[in-house]
Amino acid sequence: MENIACLLGLFCWILVRVCTALDCKEQAYAFNGKRCCNKCPPGQGLIHDCFHGNDTQCGSCVQGRTFSPDFWHTEKCQNCSECKKDSHVKTPCTVTEDTICECNVDFYFHTVAKECSLCNFCPIGYGAIIPCNKLQNSICLKCPNGTYSDVKSATLPCKRCTKCSSGQAEFKPCSDTENTICYGHPKENYTSQPTAAKEQKDFDVIPVYCAVLGAVVLGLLVYVIFKQYTRLKNRKIHKGHQPHEEVEYSKTSGCDSGVFVENEFCKQYNQLSRVRDLPVKKKKELEKNLSMHTSDGNTWKQLAKELGYQEKKIEQFESSSSEVVSHVHNLLDHWSKHKHSTVEVLIKALQIINRFDIVLILQRDITELKSGNHLRNVI
């Protein structure tokens, strides 16, 4: 009877414990059988255990340094793993996942040693029937008849021997370490043998290259002769001739086409003419008038500013010499090289700085030249 009473008592105690047990959710756990405490979520680790009146205290893991992959209430954030020798990072460590490493090329992961090991390289005459990969070493087998391997490799299998095509003869048969060597010209396709690398072209392009080169040289020679002839013709000096005797005149100006005699009348210009094309005498006259001091000071500096020059460049013109005429000469010589350096632009700039005396000199010559051309046309 006593045994039966003990069994009934134990059964009642178990029944009470089951009925009064806490039903905590999946992300929580029972603390001392009295209340449910939360587990730390992924990405966070335990700081303080759950205790009376307070829930579990968790802290965030550090990106790239620590991680926590699951819900738990007993572990802190774990340190991220570092890739060992002969391996590299495939996926970097995050707060929820550890570092994933991968073996380098020609290495595989040895499951027993738990490290990356060098793959077996199949020697010449052997091929890899199972190539080396990240998780398995290579397995080599001697090349059977009709195949060869001429390189050491952990991944390449044996290759099929080449058969000489029609029109070729076999110079050296295939072996397990060397491919077939053929010689002669195949009727269809070349083989991949040394004879194919030395194939000759049916069409010889050397004569074509020589013909083109000869044509280019001949063209250059004709061009040089023509330029030399033109230069010599322009340098003819008309000596012993009276004015207007046996002198060829240009169709546009009616002036001497020779370049030896400088005729101020023949060097015509208009407002669209370039300043650099003005007669030398006219340029000197401009420089002389611009170098004269006026009540406004050095007008050549005012002209330089109107033509677009800054103070620094004007100082460079001025530093070359102590004479004002040289300053003006440097200014006009530099500006006349620009595309827009026409007489018209110069006249407008002179009008702005009130040098109408020089404007009248330029406009007078343009007017006189127009009148002279009109009289010549009438005659």
Q: pLDDT tens across 16-55, in order?
A: 454 555 678 888 888 777 788 888 999 999 988 888 778 8
CA atoms within 13 A on the CB side of 345: 17
Q: What is the pLDDT of residue 252?
A: 34
- Find all residues with CB under 8 Å of 221, minimum gap 6, and list them: none
Q: What is the pLDDT of residue 198?
A: 46
**Residue range 170-228, pLDDT digits in tens:** 889 999 999 999 988 765 544 444 544 444 445 677 888 889 999 999 999 999 999 88
Q: What is the pLDDT of residue 298?
A: 72
| pLDDT at residue 251 greater than cutoff 50 | no
Q: What is the pLDDT of residue 202?
A: 55
Q: What is the pLDDT of residue 375?
A: 38
Q: What percent of the chain has pLDDT over 70?
A: 75
Q: What is the pLDDT of residue 368?
A: 55
d(CA 101, CA 269): 84
Provide the pLDDT confidence category of residue 288 given band limits of 50, 70 and 90.
Answer: confident
Identify whether the C-beta of residue 355 lies closer than 8 Å to the C-beta of residue 286: no
| pLDDT at residue 320 greater than cutoff 50 | yes
Q: What is the pLDDT of residue 161?
A: 95
d(CA 234, CA 228): 10
Q: Tokens for 45, please give them.
A: 């680790």
CATH number belonging to domain 275-378: 1.10.533.10
Q: Do domains 21-99 and 105-185 have the same CATH topology?
A: yes
| pLDDT at residue 156 greater than cutoff 90 | yes
CATH 2.10.50.10 holds for 105-185: yes
Q: What is the pLDDT of residue 269?
A: 61
Q: What is the pLDDT of residue 240?
A: 39
* The amino acid at 281: K
Q: What is the pLDDT of residue 11?
A: 64
Q: Which of 89-98, 149-158, 162-171 has the lowest mean pLDDT?
A: 162-171
Helix axis angle, 299-306 to 324-335, nearest 10°: 10
| pLDDT at residue 151 greater than cutoff 70 | yes
Q: What is the pLDDT of residue 10?
A: 65
| pLDDT at residue 267 greater than cutoff 50 | no
Give 364-371's long-range contacts (Cβ < 8 A, gap of 24+).
365/269, 365/282, 366/269, 366/270, 366/271, 369/265, 369/268, 369/269, 369/270
More confident residue, 225 or 237: 225
Q: What is the mean pLDDT of residues 135-152?
A: 93
Whose tokens are 């990240």? That residue is 134
| pLDDT at residue 266 greater than cutoff 70 | no
Burial class (CB in 10 A: 0-12, 13-18, 19+), 138: buried
Q: What is the pLDDT of residue 297?
A: 57
Identify whether the C-beta of residue 280 lies closer than 8 Å to the C-beta of residue 326: no
H helices of 235-310, where? Answer: 280-291, 299-306
Tell me phi and psi for residue 3, to 5 degrees: -65, -40
Domain ranges of the chain: 21-99, 105-185, 275-378
Q: Which of 103-112, 167-176, 258-267 has the lowest mean pLDDT?
A: 258-267
d(CA 225, CA 309): 44
Burial class (CB in 10 A: 0-12, 13-18, 19+), 300: buried
| pLDDT at residue 67 greater than cutoff 70 | yes
| pLDDT at residue 348 greater than cutoff 60 | yes
Q: Which of 361, 356, 364 is nearest to 296 (CA)?
A: 356
Q: What is the pLDDT of residue 313?
A: 87
**Residue range 125-139, pLDDT digits in tens:** 999 999 999 888 999
CATH number belonging to domain 21-99: 2.10.50.10
